[in-house]
Amino acid sequence: MTDVAIVGIGMHEFGRHEGVSGMEQGAIAVRRACSDAGVAWNDIEFAYGGSYAAGSPDTMVSMLGLTGLQFINVANGCATGGSALSSAYNAIKSGAYELGMAIGFDKHPRGAFSPSGPAGEGRDWYGGSGMALTTQFFGMKINHYMETHGITNRSLAKVAAKAFRNGSKNPMAWRRKPLSEDEILQAQMLSYPLTQYMFCNPGEGGVALVMCKADVAHKYSKNPIFLRASVVRSRRFGSFEVTAPSLAIEHNGGPTIDASKAAFELAGVGPADIDVAQLQDTESGAEVMHMAENGFCEHGEQEAMLANGDTEIDGRLPVNTDGGCLANGEPIGASGLRQVYENVLQLRGDAGERQVPNDPKVAYTHVYGAPGISGVTILTR
């Protein structure tokens, strides 16, 4: 089994881009990643690509060049990017290929993701009744968590304020205007206890990563970053997930706990070794809960950690240094890859104004998506 390195990264700015298709944004990201790695599209042996709403990723070869490479499409809801990366990781790790890419892009219509319910006979009772909204799940999950573990609304606002503050230092981010905690708390209540500014929005953007066998990494990059783990897990019986008309009485912690444990085991490191983390923040409560689900604290400790500024760029465990989903929006195909892109910048020391101090060496990403999928990566220099 061979190790895997990331030797090139490319991104198309996240946000809204009139007149630029999602796939063009993906192609721009691919060209930037190839240029970063000093390779040509011709050199790429395989690609895994993900997009939810911007076309079939493999058709982007007509923009990039018809080289005959193996190009496989991946779709896993909001965890699509993480799944593309995991597939590419395993393709190299197996020894089948030396050089390939994970690609993600998207372009969603404005507004919340369209609800969809379970298929069945007769009238759509689930969506028809006004359930089946992803925003409701996020509201219920964090509300239950707050009642159980003593997290306050103020902490939710702190997470969102940090996201926009970090986003203001990221030229690739969509929302770059800092907002105060009070502005966030006083915004329209969308799904109690979450206000408008505590939710991310579907958006646009693209990310591509060039990956290779670790033992040839220095051929492509003077500062390769090593992918020590890339794991995807689906839900088990008893977990609490998005758009579920019913849940089991018994409770399971969910796929994030499983993916996180497996990734730490694979990488041979623990939560205390992580210098910077990008955690799924579909809304600000998700970041709070995912801090504990990924093993970085006990349930309830987040309240004190946020008050101490532990997750700020200069804190003990910087979280979502690029502004996360809240400041970048969520183009589903690209979102998980954005997190890895940010960690590569941080580990290279190239994150500019938002660079984590003290020379970070180990970085962590976590992406979560419907209907209960989590993807985790661990990167080292």
Enumerate binding residues for other proteins (CB under 8 A): 111-112, 114-118, 120-133, 136, 139-141, 143-144, 147, 188-193, 237, 240, 244-249
Minimal distance, residue 120 CB to other proteins, in Å? 6
**Amino acid symbol at 68:** G
Nearest residue (CB) to other proteins, 228 versus 290: 290
User: Least distance to other proteins from the beta carbon of 296, Å?
Assistant: 23
Long-range Cβ contacts of 139-146 (<8 Å, 24+ apart): 139/190, 139/191, 139/192, 139/193, 139/194, 141/240, 141/285, 141/286, 141/289, 142/193, 142/194, 142/283, 142/285, 142/286, 142/288, 142/289, 143/192, 143/193, 145/285, 145/288, 145/289, 145/299, 146/193, 146/285
Closer Cβ to other proteins, 248 or 307, answer by number? 248
User: Residue 177 Cβ, how far from other proteins at the closest point, in Å?
Assistant: 22
Q: Give the shortest CB-201-to-other proteins separation in angstroms.
A: 14
**Distance of alpha carbon 225 from alpha carbon 218, whole angstroms:** 10
Least distance from other proteins to the Cβ atom of residue 81, Å: 25
338 token code pair: 């954005």
Residues in the chain, overall count: 381
| In the complex, least distance from residue 16 CB atom to other proteins, rounded to whole angstroms | 20
Asked whether 318 and 276 are in contact (CB, 8 A), the reply is yes
In sequence order, the 6+-apart residues with CB closer than 8 A to the CB of 132 are 115, 116, 117, 126, 243
Q: Which alpha helices (DSSP H) does 66-169 contain, by range?
A: 80-93, 125-128, 134-149, 153-167
The structure tokens 């998506």 sit at 369
In the complex, the smallest distance separating the C-beta of residue 2 from other proteins, rounded to whole angstroms, is 35
Give the residue with the Cβ less far from other proteins, 249 or 272.
Answer: 249
**Residue 188 Cβ, how far from other proteins at the closest point, in Å?**
7
Q: Which is nearer to other proteins, 352 or 371 (CB)?
A: 371
Q: Which is nearer to other proteins, 56 or 196 (CB)?
A: 196
Say how far apart CA 336 and CA 226 lie, in whole Å. Answer: 17
DSSP string, 50-90: E-SSS--GGGGHHHH-----EEEEE-BTBTHHHHHHHHHHH
Which residue lies nearer to other proteins by CB, 18 or 121?
121
Cβ nearer to other proteins, comparing 77 with 193: 193
| 144/218 with CB nearer other proteins | 144
Nearer to other proteins, 168 or 252 (CB): 252
Rama region for 303: left / alpha / beta (φ>0; ψ in -120 to 50; rest):
alpha
Give the C-alpha separation, 361 to 235, whole Å: 31
The token pair at 173 is: 């981010």
CB of 245 to other proteins, least distance (A): 5
Minimum CB distance to other proteins, residue 153 (Å): 11
- Angstrom distance (rounded) from CA 151 to CA 143: 9
- Rounded CA-CA distance 94/267 in Å is 17
Residue 75 or 187: the one with the smaller Cβ distance to other proteins is 187
Terminal-to-terminal C-alpha distance of the chain = 19
DSSP secondary structure, 232-244, as one string: EEE--TT---SS-
